[in-house]
Each structure stands twice: as structure tokens, then as C-alpha cells.
Amino acid sequence: MSLPFLGTSAPSVLSSKDVGVVILGHIVGSKRAPGNVALIKSTRTGKVAAVKPGYKILGQYNVTSVNEKFITLRKGAKDFILYAKKYTPTVKNAIKPKATTRRYDNGYLSSRESYSEPGFSRKGNKLQISAGYRDNLLKSEMAKILMQATAQPVKGPDGIAGWRMFQIDKGSIFDKAGVSNGDVIQSINGKKLKHAGQAVRLLQSMRSQNAFEISVLRGGKSQSLTLDVQ
């Protein structure tokens, strides 16, 4: 397997104590490495974040790849490996994967005001999709959707106030819907997203509903995205 190490020397294995985070789990696709996602937790604050290649952990370590057993990191000119707890080697020896100069581009949204394809259309903040398009997303594309962006909880006075979106993939459903990096998704149909499990349940509820209003905080101003299923 070829991993995105930029140097020629073998990477060092770091512990969770070294980095300041633990790996809680992964969402890993077999072919689309840039879309793989790891769920990490800060050992100091307990804060949880979903990260993809390009994310910077605690302002120090750049994530270069997410794999089933570990994530690869880069700090300055050095490469590192952080294993999920159950896969951590008993001896701190560096593994020696093949070096490569490949870099992943997670991209940013274009400034398109509209988008259209069979079964999906958007004009400004108004979206329309067909029932067939919706059903395909929720039945066969759900795992793919969860890997198309990174969501980080935003704290408010009463707990989690929303989820800040970034590392949005070009051409993803978030891109098509006009969601921008830095947008904070606050609620769906008036229901605040207090935790990740609730967000997943709300997505699943789309199977039986045909109208949605999504509250978004963008640039300090509240906006509404409306979605109608036809």
C-alpha cells in the first residue's frame, strides 16, 4: 500500500500522549483515500472531531492519510504514525511503507449560485430533489456522504450549538447544496443538533418527510436552506 509520506525516511510511531488525541474510530473506503475519516478525541479537553487528510491536529500535526488501523501525520519535515489503541504496536518501531510525494487536495466550494443535475436542483438557498434521488442518497450513498466533509461541534452556552463544516469535497452533496466551509449547521426543521447520533437520525428521517428547513450560521448571520422533495 502506498501512503502519502513526503520524506524518504521511515516515519516514527507516536503515542496518543505524544499527539494529545486518541483515535475513536474510522470510516474507511476501499478506494477513495482522500475521503476516509477518523474520529479523534482530545486527551486534554475531551473534544471530539471527525478528521480527513488535510486536517491539522491541535495546530501541530497535519493529517496526511486515514487508514483502517492508523492515521499518518506530518509535522515540519517529519512523518509520523498514530495507531488506534487496539492496533498500537508493543514495540515503538517505525514501519516502512513506500514513500511518495502525492498530496491530496480536499478543495473548497466554488461560488456557484445554482446547480442542477437529473433529480437535483438549487437556486440560491432553495433546493429541490426527486424522491428517487433522495432514496438513493439514504439507501446506498449514506456512508459516502459521511466521508464528504468534516463536521466539528461548536459549543454554546447550553452545550453544542451546531456543527461547523469544513474540508467539503468538490462535487459532494454538501457542495451541490451550497454549503460552504465554515458554515455552522444549527438545526433541521427547528430541531437543534446536540450530538452526532441525532444528526444521523435526522438524516434517516428524510425518508418519510418531503420538506426541510436547515438553519445555517454563515459569516455571523443566520440563513435558511430549504429543501423540497418532489
Q: 186-204, pLDDT tens digit by residue?
A: 888 888 877 766 666 776 7
- Which one-letter DSSP state was computed for residue 195? S
Which of the four pLDDT bands, split at 50, 70 and 90, describes residue 95? Answer: very low
Residue 188 lies in a domain: yes
Q: What is the number of domains present in the chain?
A: 2
CB 21 within 8 A of CB 38: no
Residue 105 lies in a domain: no
Q: Supply the CATH number for residue 154's domain.
A: 2.30.42.10
Residue 107 lies in a domain: no
Q: Supply the CATH number for residue 77's domain.
A: 2.30.30.830
pTM over 0.85: no
CB 47 within 8 A of CB 153: yes
Q: Which domain holds residue 212?
A: 114-229
Residues 51, 66: Cα–Cα separation, whole Å? 9
Q: 15-49, pLDDT tens digit by residue?
A: 888 888 988 877 766 544 567 888 888 888 878 88
Residue 124 lies in a domain: yes
Is the domain of 38 the same as that of 131?
no
- Which one-letter DSSP state was computed for residue 35? G
Residue 1 lies in a domain: no
- Which one-letter DSSP state was computed for residue 86? G
Nearest one of 20, 61, 19, 62 to 44, comparing CA atoms? 20
